[in-house]
Amino acid sequence: MDDTLDPILIQVTVPLPLPMIHAAFTDPAQVTGWLSDRAEIDARPGGVYHLGWAAPLDFESRGTVREVTPDLDLGFTWQGPPEFDALMNRPEPRTEVYVRLQESPEGIDITLEHRGWVSGDAWEDARSWHFHFWDERLHRLKEFLLKSAYG
């Protein structure tokens, strides 16, 4: 029996240059424009990928960069919000987020994959919460990038 749930996969396409989109994931000043309220990022393998949210979310995700290729991809560990703390974060982050950028006819495809989900009702609840979180945030990212580029 398979004891894992499928990764979360969400994709949006943005008609802007690759470096601008990659910076939206690696530059703390830009990350706080769409993803979190606070960000500390050292975008190199082993570097920190710490994000923080004020109320109503009110949590910290203290991750570590696992992989990064300029203008191509970024992977980091993820800590879930307090309601999933014992499930996802102890003794260490148990899920990872991987973002890949790829050119397409419409612009740049941004694919976010959040993986590491284990089967069970509690994990399904956590996965559902994160699916809605990432879906909303990636649409915010697209709006943020277009507004930054075109006003």
Q: What is the pLDDT of residues 53-65, one digit of tens each?
A: 999 999 999 999 9
Domain residues of the chain, as ranges? 8-150
Using 70 as the pLDDT threshold, list the residues of the chain that sit under it. 1-2
Which tokens go with 108?
Answer: 């740049």
Phi, psi of 148 (to 5 degrees): -60, -40
Taking each helix axis from N to C terminus, what angle separates 121-150 and 18-26, rounded to the nearest 10 degrees? 130
β-pairing, 8-14 vs 59-69, is: unpaired
- Residue 2 confidence (pLDDT): 59
- Residue 91 confidence (pLDDT): 82
Superfamily of domain 8-150: START domain (3.30.530.20)
Which residues are 100's β-sheet partners? 73, 111
- Residue 3 confidence (pLDDT): 81
The number of residues in the chain equals: 151
Cα dihedral 127→144→22→113 (10° resolution): 10
- Residue 93 confidence (pLDDT): 81
- Residue 1 confidence (pLDDT): 45
| Secondary structure of residue 119 in the 3-state scheme | coil
- Residue 82 confidence (pLDDT): 95
